[in-house]
A and B are shown apart, each in its own frame.
Chain A
């Protein structure tokens, strides 16, 4: 198990999969931070730093894809998606080009750079786009495996990566599969469906709860679209109470995605969504913001107790 940021796993894995000459990487002037720089040093002919021009980058990637290349178009999530919704819709999704959009520095975990750098609407954006799949890994191992899986997946994808170091959750025996949720910890009474950094945050909360003899389950949802309906239905029925946890706005993210599955199956259980509460955060460290804006393990502990009381 490796304690490192998911963006690090992406950068390191690109060096490995780059041996396939169809892999090309694009960046928009932030390759140091997105970790694509080393790919550029190792494979200079297949690295295109487009400068600070995300719209151009996304469409250039689409063009490359039509020639059989597998482009990974990378930038900070804020700008990659915020500036290029139209380009993604027309040249990537509608054209169904094999472009991997990789957004790093997602969520309020970014911290001090403030709300203009904290992308909290990207899951909502991308989830609403036909042909698009959406993946957010929980740790280094999963991010590394997901990078490889994305290179093999034919079609548009959004890969949501984080800036901060996260504790290793999976070891090399873990097998990531697009569209599959994973039971991280099996307990009873309540199940948390978490994604990204919130898997780690949930594990800390569960340690605290265990001390009070509350042993719940945790499911990692790394593929947010297409979501693993089977695991959501089964685990919700088994536990009878659920929580979703994500570093994203409460509208349109994992919570809504899980809620849609339950609605489709007419399942009604006590259900709490932990997410940013439809507001912009502020500057501060990631952990400070998680505490103030309701995402920290302390908030998860409280939410578990409140939700259990509704059973």
Chain B
């Protein structure tokens, strides 16, 4: 699909709608992770609704599908919202989010019992290796599937990320595309002060990856980079500079909104800002 044919404004509106939905289900659940859900929203909107990810939500196990993994699994508020809007689950299922006896197993962190989810998450640092394994598996099967995985910026402090980075480069796994949701804020502190991950591009480059850096809230930039043909022999990483809590002024850039649900008052205020 040509960038000219992508409805950027439509995608931006979709992202707004998804932000509202993610906040709604976190508010209803009374717990969850709003900050990292809102920072990843534009990236996930582009993947699922911008013609990037190849999927058929009525056949979630189709072997020919592209794969998506949310390695920073705590952003499940946006993940389930996207899965609902994409038709993998019903919007009414979202009422069960983080509740016992959830019909679609909408746990605080994703699990493959939920259609559209490939692997469990919740322990940071594992998703890149899993995504790499999937990419190797689809390649062995002679399929042209791509595997996209969103990592958190704090998450790449985990050593396993760099084990996987070395592996994907060793095996020239060029159907693997990692996206770092670089929102610069972790649970405890801003990532820089917790343990600085910069120079982030130089790190990935030295590990043998095809490195790109974009504004992770600019839909045109996101679509353009995701539409780019895969590298002939390297795995690709997209450093997406984002803002934690994007779209809700009082949440933006705040560690406090990493893992806290909004009160009724804050929720109402947030909805007004999200138009």
Chain A interface (Cβ < 8 Å from any Cβ of B): 24, 45-46, 48, 50-51, 53, 55-69, 71, 86-87, 89-91, 94-97
Query: Which residues from chain B contact A63 at a C-beta distance below 8 Å?
Result: 119, 129-137
Task: Point out the residue from B111, B112, B137 that lies within 8 Å of A69, measured CB to CB.
Answer: B137
Assess whether B63 is in contact with A59, with CB atoms less than 8 Å apart: no
B163 within 8 A of A: yes
How far apart sit A55 and B133, CA to CA, in the bound complex (Å)?
12
Assess whether B167 is in contact with A53, with CB atoms less than 8 Å apart: yes
Assess whether A91 is in contact with B137, with CB atoms less than 8 Å apart: no
Q: Can you offer 15 A-B residue contacts whose CB atoms are under 8 A?
A: A46-B140, A50-B163, A51-B167, A51-B170, A56-B129, A56-B132, A56-B163, A56-B167, A60-B129, A63-B129, A66-B118, A66-B133, A66-B137, A90-B122, A90-B126
10 smallest beta-carbon distances between A and B, as pairs: A63-B133, A67-B137, A59-B129, A56-B163, A53-B163, A60-B133, A63-B130, A63-B134, A95-B120, A64-B133
How far apart sit A97 and B132, CA to CA, in the bound complex (Å)?
15
Assess whether A91 is in contact with B163, with CB atoms less than 8 Å apart: no
Assess whether A97 is in contact with B134, with CB atoms less than 8 Å apart: no
- Chain B facing A: main interface SS: helix
- Sorting the interface of chain B by its residue count into under 10, 10 to 19, 20 to 34 or 35 or more gives 20 to 34
Chain B interface (Cβ < 8 Å from any Cβ of A): 63, 111-112, 118-123, 125-127, 129-138, 140-141, 159-160, 163-164, 166-167, 170-171
What distance in Å separates the Cβ of B173 from its nearest Cβ neighbour in chain A? 10
How far apart sit A63 and B67, CA to CA, in the bound complex (Å)?
11
Assess whether B123 is in contact with A90, with CB atoms less than 8 Å apart: yes
Task: Point out the residue from A57, A58, A66 that lies within 8 Å of B134, measured CB to CB.
Answer: A66
Assess whether A59 is in contact with B137, with CB atoms less than 8 Å apart: no
Assess whether A67 is in contact with B141, with CB atoms less than 8 Å apart: yes
Assess whether A55 is in contact with B129, with CB atoms less than 8 Å apart: yes
How far apart sit A115 and B119, CA to CA, in the bound complex (Å)?
35
Query: Which residues from chain B contact A48 at a C-beta distance below 8 Å?
Result: 136, 171
Assess whether A67 is in contact with B123, with CB atoms less than 8 Å apart: no
